[in-house]
Amino acid sequence: DARVTQTPRHKVTEMGQEVTMRCQPILGHNTVFWYRQTMMQGLELLAYFRNRAPLDDSGMPKDRFSAEMPDATLATLKIQPSEPRDSAVYFCASGLGGGYDEQFFGPGTRLTVL
């Protein structure tokens, strides 16, 4: 059955390195969300797109995070430079509409920044 896929599943990197996470939404879904999950903050919305256009990235630290959708089958989240406080699980989700509609989540990327 159709699923959201994310790569890599795990990433360990050193402080200052660039990290790129990728997400393939479910075919036909026009809305893509990026979330970050930490023990302290829970699930936070970082950014989201509709029809590949960024609608809101107010949840992202602008100086180091960037999110793009180069095409309808790929969403990317980049951190440059990475810091230890970025260690978290990053989830991508896709759906057919806005927040009122079911979101289908990927398996997440567990990022550890040393």
Partner 1 sequence: AQSVSQHNHHVILSEAASLELGCNYSYGGTVNLFWYVQYPGQHLQLLLKYFSGDPLVKGIKGFEAEFIKSKFSFNLRKPSVQWSDTAEYFCAVNAYNTDKLIFGTGTRLQVFP
Binding site for partner 1 (CB under 8 A): 3-4, 31, 33, 35, 41-45, 48, 50, 55-56, 91, 93, 98-100, 102-108
For tokens 């969300």, the residue is 33
One DSSP character per residue, 32-68 reads EEEEEEETTTEEEEEEEEETTEEEE-TTS-TTTEEEE
C-beta of 70 vs 100, nearer to partner 1: 100
Q: How far apart are alpha carbons 111 and 51 in whole angstroms?
A: 27
Residue at 5: amino acid letter: T
CB of 107 to partner 1, least distance (A): 5
CB of 42 to partner 1, least distance (A): 4
φ, ψ for residue 106 (rounded to 5)?
A: -85, 180
CB of 43 to partner 1, least distance (A): 4
C-beta of 3 vs 85, nearer to partner 1: 3
R_g (Cα) of the chain, nearest Å = 13
C-beta of 65 vs 91, nearer to partner 1: 91
CB of 45 to partner 1, least distance (A): 6
C-beta of 15 vs 55, nearer to partner 1: 55
